[in-house]
Amino acid sequence: MPIRVLASVIERDQRLLVCRRPLHKRHGGLWEFPGGKVREGESDLEAARRELQEELGVEVTGVGAVALSVPDPGSDFVIEFLPVEIRGEPECLEHMAVEWRAEEELLSLPLAPSDRRYVAFRRDGGGKGGG
């Protein structure tokens, strides 16, 4: 059975929050949207709150519907990209770096494979207007 992984799409001032994965993890050194595995019985909101508090020290105030689901090649993960609203300033607690980037800059970064597919989906008009 696939393991759901939330990827939080956080926008502020026409920029998106991306994080660089630690070298020792799968896709180490690549950029991604922050998030993590959904635990059994956990809602998307609960999972986003837990993961983003751990990774970035921010408070999640809301989540939207999943905009895109992408199976992660070579794993049991299905990465689900959804809009997330936060309160607070993200801190680099688990990643190598945390940056706000304009959407058009994202494809020039070394993105994790599923995250690259999501950005291409957005660029084709699929991820705008609330999902």
Residue 19 sits in a domain of what CATH number? 3.90.79.10
Q: For 88-130, write each residue's pLDDT tens digit.
A: 999 999 999 999 999 999 999 999 999 999 999 998 887 654 4
**Percentage of the chain lying above the pLDDT 90 cut:** 82
Say whether 117 sits in a helix, a strand or coil: helix
Q: How many domains does the chain have?
A: 1
Q: Would you say residue 112 lies in a domain?
A: yes
Q: Would you say residue 128 lies in a domain?
A: no
According to the model, what pLDDT value does residue 127 have?
60
Average pLDDT for the chain: 93
**The whole model's pTM is what?**
0.91
* Residue 66: domain span: 3-123
Q: Would you say residue 107 lies in a domain?
A: yes
Q: Would you say residue 79 lies in a domain?
A: yes
Q: Would you say residue 129 lies in a domain?
A: no
